Chain A
Amino acid sequence: MTIERDDLEYLLHRISKGDQRAFALLYRLTSAKLFGLILRICRDRGLAEDVLQDTCVRIWRNAPLYSAQSGRPITWMAAIARHAAIDALRSRNVRDARLTDGDDAQLAAVPDLVGGAVDPMDREALRRCLGQLDAEQRDCVLLAYHEGLSREELAERFTRPVGTIKTWLHRALNQLKSCLGAT
Chain B
Amino acid sequence: MTADDNELQAGEYVLGSLGPEERLTAQERIKADPAFAAAVRLWEGHLAPLMDDTPPVEPSARINARIAQEIAMEAAVPRVNPAERLAPEAYRPDAEIVDLSARLRRLKLITALAGSLAAAFAGVVVYDRMGLLMRAPVDGQHYVAVVNRDASLPALIVDVDTGLGELTVRPVATEAPAADRSLELWIIPAGGSPISLGVVDTAAKAYRVADKTGSIRSTGTFAVTVEPKGGAPEGIPTGPVVYSGKLVKVTD
**A144/B16 in contact, CB under 8 A:** yes
One of B107-115, B130-138, B165-173 at the interface = B107-115
CB-CB contacts of B88-116 with A at 8 A, as 1s and 0s? Answer: 00000000000000000000001111111
**A39/B57 in contact, CB under 8 A:** yes
**A36/B56 in contact, CB under 8 A:** yes
* Nearest CB in chain B: distance from A4 CB, A: 15
Interface size class of B (residues with CB under 8 A): 35 or more
**B16/A88 in contact, CB under 8 A:** no
One of B63-71, B139-147, B198-206, B226-234 at the interface = B63-71
**B51/A33 in contact, CB under 8 A:** yes
Residue of A nearest to B26 (CB): A83
**Residues on B facing A (Cβ under 8 Å):** 1-3, 7-8, 11-12, 14-20, 23, 27, 41, 43-60, 63-64, 66-68, 70-72, 74-75, 78-79, 81-83, 110-117, 150
**B70/A112 in contact, CB under 8 A:** no
Interface of B, secondary structure class, is helix
A106 adjacent to chain B (CB < 8 Å) = yes
The complex places the Cα of A86 from the Cα of B12 at a distance, in Å, of 12
Which residue in A20, A106, A111, A112 is a CB contact (below 8 Å) of B72? A20
Which 7 A-B pairs give the minimum distances between C-beta atoms?
A: A32-B56, A123-B49, A144-B15, A91-B112, A87-B112, A173-B11, A18-B79
The interface residues of chain A lying within 8 Å CB-to-CB of B18 are 150-151
**B2/A178 in contact, CB under 8 A:** yes
**A126/B46 in contact, CB under 8 A:** yes
* Nearest CB in chain A: distance from B35 CB, A: 14
Residue of A nearest to B30 (CB): A83
A70 adjacent to chain B (CB < 8 Å) = yes
**B23/A86 in contact, CB under 8 A:** yes
**Contact A49-B44, Cβ < 8 Å, known A36-B56, A107-B57, A146-B53:** no
The interface residues of chain A lying within 8 Å CB-to-CB of B83 are 64-65
A-B contact pairs, 28 of them (CB 8 A): A18-B75, A24-B68, A27-B67, A32-B56, A36-B55, A52-B67, A53-B66, A54-B115, A57-B74, A61-B82, A71-B48, A72-B45, A75-B48, A91-B111, A110-B56, A110-B57, A112-B56, A118-B52, A126-B49, A144-B15, A149-B16, A149-B17, A150-B16, A150-B17, A150-B18, A150-B19, A154-B17, A169-B11
